[in-house]
Each structure stands twice: as structure tokens, then as C-alpha cells.
Amino acid sequence: MTDLRQAFASTENLIVAPGQLLLASGPRTGMAVLLQDGRFAEIAEAADLRTRHPGAGWIELPHHLMMPGFIDTHTHLTQSLGKSLVFGEPSEIFRRIWVPLEGSLDEHMVYLSSKLAALECLRGGFTAAVDAGTRSAGHVGRLADAARETGLRVVIGRICNDLGGSAEIADRHTILRTAEAHLAQYDGDPLIHPSLAISIPEAASDRMLRDVSTMAVEAGAIFQTHVNEHLAAVERSLVAGGRRPLEHLAHVGALGPQTLIAHSTLVTPSELNILRDTGTAVAYNPVASVWKGNAVAPALQMQALGIRFGLGTDGTRSDGFRLMDAAESLQRVSYGLASGDSSCGAGWLWLEAATRMAADASGLAAVTGASRRVLPPISCWWTSTGPNSPPPTT
């Protein structure tokens, strides 16, 4: 692997010919990839690429599969130090663990936690991840530094809560100004993608929910929030306003293709229709359901309805292969066994949900998530890079 890293560090054109190349149509032999400046420039038959680029370097990897990198559609890089506390807890652990823990992180600890999480992502096959926003008192820049140093592509949410649920709650004007600065700071960044977030709908006013979601649309960014995960939150929302959280977001105008909803485990048929009709995306987090959730998101039903979704870890374990396994297994146990569905999407759906579909839900479809022949740069899961490595290929 060290030799591969050195080869990829070269600024010269490089052709990599794996034993199998995973394309959208399935695994193929005899194919190769042209790397230019650390990015995937072209995919074609190996012999053809070599003929057309005679000066390029050449690496054969006959015992390797080359495939798109996994994308974690929902995680929290600043929760690394609390994983051992969450399993088996009653619901809404964010109140007892995450908000206090993240709020206690100083600048250095934000960096260390994020660095550890980013390295775990790469080890588990993820070349990109969507961070839902740290609840620490600022220091988002150190989170970005940690991701950049590891070579992990990251969508970073900036928390915009104006009613609570974070270490610092500023006034409305300051929140919006900070959000604008966050979007501008990483605009055009090759590896860091800015995003806006509100932890849960009840952590923000209706006006803030709508304004932040709209701001994300105008910036071409995604808007993130956690919705319909815990029964207690659904019931509070009903008591407070007569609407379930997802219905509330629709009511205030915060849903749309720019919005990425984490969880959506407790969804009614009409809420599924809302997700479909608004083009809202969902992060299906199966391991999080096992560790701490109230239910399992009906991902197969979402797929059948055409609802956009990808797989997420929610900061549990960063292992892309086990995540796909959990995604299928939970659908089988929760829905397939009861209906005699012996397929439950089969392996292809969950591979798609961890790559191409995850890229779409994360707002990254233009830069990663799929292997296409002679099309824009894609990711390769084993091209994880270290601090001294060249710009990553993800």
C-alpha cells in the first residue's frame, strides 16, 4: 500500500489497471483508470487507455477490486470520545451525552476528535462523510483541518440553532451572518463542502428553519436536521403544534431537494408522501437504530416510492461493509420476514445506497459516488491519503 501511495503522489499521468473495476453495470475485467493530478480523469478499456496515453505511468493490480468510495451520509466527527457511552441508553441521548460532551470540547479536542473520526472513516472504506455539525462552541475550522489532513471529503454542517441544543446560542443576526461566512469560506473548496444545520426542529424558531433552509438552496448547499427519530420528540411536536416534526418542517417551508433528514425512523404513510413530493433526502442509519433509536426507517418503502436516501453511521462504527450488511439485515428483520420478501433489495441496492445514492443525498453527486466511463472524477476507497499525501482523489 505504501508503494501505491507513492505512485499516486506522482503528478504525472498514471494508469491503474485493477483485476476488477466496479462500474454502474457491475464488475468488469480488462478496464483501467487514468489518474491526472490525483483525480480520476478517464475510465476505459486498459489497452485503449495505454494506447492513447503512451507517456503515462502504469500500475497493474490483478488482485484488487477498484470501486467508488463509500459515503457516510450522516455522522458526527466530534462525537469520537463518547461512543462507549451510547449503547443501550434510553432515547434522546443527545440531551444527556452529546450536547454536554461536544459543548466541553475546546479547540484542540475538536481537532483530535475529528481527526480520529476521519481516520476511522478512511479505514472503513469511506472517502466522504457528511458531518451534521458540531455542538461545540465554534472551532468548526479545526474540524475542517482534521478532515483535510486525512484526505477525507467532508460536508460540514454549521449549527444554526436559535432556541437551544448547542454550546452557544447567538442572536438571530449573528447566526445568519455566521452561516453566510461558513458558506463563503468553503465555497469552491476541492475537499470541504459547507452546509447548514439545525440539530432538531424544536431547537430553532419557524423563521430560522425556513431562512436557513432557503439560504442553503441559494448557496447550492444542503440543509441538515434530525427528524422523527425518537417517540418523545414526535409527541412533543404534536403537543406543541399539532404536527409531527416532519409535518412541521413541511409546514414552515424547510423541506426540499436541499434538505437532508437524518433518521426518519418514525414516519407515517403521509409523511413518506411528503418526503417524496418535496424531493427531500434521508440518511438511513441502521446501526444507529440498533444502538440508540426507537425504530428502523422503512428504507425499502422509501426506495419503492422514489424517496432519495443514502446510508449513514450517525457516528456509530465507521465500517462501510458492515453498514451495508446492517442496512439489509434490519430491513429483512423489520419488514422482509413479515411480508415474505426474501430479497429485501438484494446486495446491489445497499451498495448503491452507500455510494451513488449517498452522493446524491449528500449533495456530492457531481464529484463522487459512481464509476462512469469517461466522466467526472470519482472516488476509490483504497486511495486514502495521509498528512503528507497529494490532493486526494475523492
Q: Give the separation between CA 136 and CA 212, rounded to whole angstroms.
A: 19
Comparing CB distances to Zn ion, the nearer of 265 and 384 is: 265
| 314 makes contact with Zn ion (CB under 5 A) | yes
- What is the pattern of x (binds Zn ion, CB under 5 A) and - over residues 251-270? -----------x--------
Q: How far apart are CA 189 and CA 375, in angstroms?
A: 20
Per-residue CA distances from 40 to 58, 374, 379 (Å): 14, 9, 8
User: Within 40-79, which residues bind Zn ion (CB under 5 A)?
Assistant: none
Q: Please, what is the minimum distance in Å from the beta carbon of residue 186 to Zn ion?
A: 21
> Within a 13 Å sphere around the CA of 250, how many CA atoms are in the beta-carbon half?
17
Closer to Zn ion by CB, 311 or 370: give it: 311
The least CB distance from residue 314 to Zn ion, in Å, is: 4
Determine the interface stretch with Zn ion among 166-174, 269-277, 313-321, 356-364 (rule: CB under 5 A).
313-321
Q: Provide the minimum distance between the beta carbon of 193 and Zn ion in the complex, in angstroms, as a whole number.
A: 18
CB closest to Zn ion, residue no: 314
Quick one: which of 329, 302, 209, 184 has its CA closest to 259? Answer: 209
Nearest to 389 by CA among 217, 106, 191: 191
Cβ proximity to Zn ion: between 150 and 225 the closer is 225
What's the min distance (Å) between Cβ of 75 and Zn ion? Answer: 7
For residue 257, count CB atoms less than 10 angstroms from its CB and return exposed for 0-12, middle for 13-18, buried for 19 or more: middle
Looking at residue 138, the DSSP 8-state letter turns out to be: S
Please give the size of the binding site for Zn ion, defined by CB under 5 A. Answer: 3
Stretch that binds Zn ion, among 17-25, 124-132, 340-348, 373-381 (CB under 5 A): 124-132
Per CB under 5 A, 102 contacts Zn ion: no
Question: Please, what is the minimum distance in Å from the beta carbon of residue 374 to Zn ion?
Answer: 37
Residues 6+ apart with CB under 8 A from 265: 228, 229, 289, 293, 294, 295, 296, 297
Q: How far is the CB of 172 from Zn ion (least distance, A)?
A: 24
The conformational region for residue 12 under phi > 0 = left, psi -120 to 50 = alpha, else beta, is beta
Q: Which of 123, 7, 122, 2 is nearest to 60 (CA)?
A: 7
Question: Is 12 or 89 the residue whose CB approaches Zn ion more closely?
Answer: 89
Cβ proximity to Zn ion, 53 vs 263, nearer residue: 263
User: Can you say whether residue 187 is alpha, beta or left, with left for phi > 0 and alpha for psi between -120 and 50 degrees?
Assistant: beta
Distance of closest approach, residue 5 Cβ to Zn ion, in angstroms: 32
Give the footprint of Zn ion on this chain (CB under 5 A): 132, 262, 314
